[in-house]
Amino acid sequence: MQLEARSISKRYGEEQWLFRNANAALQTGEVVGLLGPSGCGKSTFCRILAGYDSSTEGEVMLDGERLPSKGYRPVQLIFQHPERAVNPRWKAGAIMNEGWQPDGSMLESLEINPEWLNRWPSELSGGELQRICIARALAPHTRFILADEMTTMLDAITQARIWKTVLELAASRQMGLMVVSHDRHLIDRICTRVIDFRSLG
Partner 1 sequence: MNLRKKTLGYAIVAFVLLLLPVVLSPLLGSEQLATHLTARNEAPSWSHPFGTDWLGRDMFTRSIKGLALSLGVGLTAALASGLIAGTLGLMAATLGKAADRFISWLIDLFLSVPHLVLLLLIAFVTGGGVKGVIIAVGLTHWPSLARLIRAEILQLKSSEFVLVSRHMGRSRWWIATRHLLPHLWPQFIVGTLLLFPHAILHEAAITFLGMGLSPHQPAIGIILSESMRYLSTGMWWLAFFPGLCLLILVRSFDVLATNLYALVDPNRSQE
**For partner 1, which residue of 39, 70, 104, 157 counts as binding (CB under 8 A)?**
70
- Nearer to partner 1 among residue 68 and residue 114 (C-beta): 68
User: Angle at which helices 156-173 and 126-137 pack, to 10 degrees?
Assistant: 0
- β-pairing, 31-35 vs 193-196, is parallel
Q: Minimal distance in Å, beta carbon 173 to partner 1?
A: 18
Q: Which of residues 38-67 bind partner 1 (CB under 8 A)?
A: 50-52
Rg (CA), the chain: 17
For residues 128 and 106, give the distance between their C-alpha atoms in angstroms, rounded to a whole number. 14
Q: Does 12 bind partner 1 (CB under 8 A)?
A: no
CB atoms within 10 A of CB 83: 16
Q: Minimal distance in Å, beta carbon 189 to partner 1?
A: 28
Q: Which of residues 134-163 bind partner 1 (CB under 8 A)?
A: 136, 139
Q: Does 175 bind partner 1 (CB under 8 A)?
A: no
Name the segment binding partner 1 (CB under 8 A); options: 85-93, 146-154, 157-165, 184-192: 85-93
User: Cα dist. 201→20, 78, 96 in Å?
Assistant: 5, 23, 36
Q: Minimal distance in Å, beta carbon 12 to partner 1?
A: 14
**For partner 1, which residue of 12, 57, 88, 113 counts as binding (CB under 8 A)?**
88
**For partner 1, which residue of 24, 48, 86, 195 counts as binding (CB under 8 A)?**
86
Q: Which of residues 92-131 bind partner 1 (CB under 8 A)?
A: 95, 98-99, 120-123
For residues 65 and 69, give the distance between their C-alpha atoms in angstroms, rounded to a whole number. 12
| Long-range interactions of 82-90: CB distance < 8 A, separation 24+ | 82/126, 82/129, 82/130, 82/132, 82/133, 82/153, 83/121, 83/126, 83/129, 85/133, 86/121, 86/129, 86/132, 86/133, 87/121, 88/120, 88/121, 88/122, 90/121
Q: Minimal distance in Å, beta carbon 33 to partner 1?
A: 23
The answer to whether the beta carbons of residues 146 and 133 sit under 8 Å apart is: no
**For partner 1, which residue of 43, 76, 151, 181 counts as binding (CB under 8 A)?**
76
Q: Does 73 bind partner 1 (CB under 8 A)?
A: yes
Instruction: List residues near partner 1 by CB under 8 A.
Output: 50-52, 70-73, 76-77, 79, 81, 84-90, 95, 98-99, 120-123, 136, 139
